[in-house]
Amino acid sequence: MIKRKNILKIAIDSPAAAGAGTLAKALSKHYNLFYLDTGKIYRFIAYLKLKFPKKFNHKFVKKKIISLEVKELANKSLLSDEIGTEASKISKIKNIRKLVHSFQLNFAYNPPNRFNGSCLDGRDITYKIVPDADFKFYITASIKTRALRRFKELKKMKKKVTYLEVLKSIKKRDKSDFNRKISPLIKTKDSLLINTTNLNKRSCFLKIKKIIDKKLNI
């Protein structure tokens, strides 16, 4: 694999709906980093499974991942709760994780030249995908806050869900993401814990920016 030298790498892990994506996007924009929401790849595979149940096998997924373009991950249909739940199930499969692995490595270590580096968020980024990241963060928030944020997001998208349904599905997803055997969600010792329960988007961004700028001597 080609690795670009002297790039800035930020790795973020977090449970569902903790605000990591919003934060990672803001950081990527500010520091001009190539941004990847790795959950979207698992969601994309979940979407393939639901859309093409008969064709869905290793070869089919492999082909789709090889030709996958980042812009395909922006598809709004990947955001539904149904796809999130399915993504959590398929992400436990070792062979699926292997397929996604090289896509993520290439993204993290070889971003296009116009970027100063990369920023990835997910569940196993700080210890498996980018273990040598310059900055590692573990973003979390209380389960009620996370459920409320996701509920509002889904409502904005005109989805028919109740708060309790969202809360239940996030609890289920936490259980599966924290307890699975392969690549469970953990906070590594070298990741900085940021609890966003009482932080709005702006203050969360500013808090992290301060930490980064200090180390970078900006």
Rg (CA), the chain: 17
Would you say 34 and 28 are in contact if contact means Cβ atoms under 8 Å apart? Answer: yes
DSSP reduced 3-state for 192 = strand
Which of 10, 44, 81, 88 lies at the binding interface for ligand C5P (CB under 6 A)? 88
Q: How far is the CB of 216 from ligand C5P (least distance, A)?
A: 25
CA angle 204, 19, 90 (to 5 degrees): 150
Nearer Cβ to ligand C5P, position 86 or 111?
86
Would you say 208 and 23 are in contact if contact means Cβ atoms under 8 Å apart? Answer: yes
Would you say 84 and 16 are in contact if contact means Cβ atoms under 8 Å apart? Answer: yes
Q: Between residue 108 and residue 137, which ones bind ligand C5P under the rule CB under 6 A?
A: 122-125
Residue 39 contacts ligand C5P per CB under 6 A: yes
Using the contact rule CB under 6 A, the part of the chain among 38-46, 65-73, 154-162, 203-211 near ligand C5P is: 38-46
Count of C-beta atoms within a 10 Å radius of residue 42: 25
Using the contact rule CB under 6 A, the part of the chain among 64-72, 85-93, 158-166, 201-209 near ligand C5P is: 85-93
Nearer Cβ to ligand C5P, position 63 or 184?
184
Distance CA 139, CA 131 (A): 17
Q: How far is the CB of 97 from ligand C5P (least distance, A)?
A: 7
Binding positions for ligand C5P, rule: CB under 6 A: 16, 38-39, 42-43, 84, 87-88, 91, 122-125, 173, 177
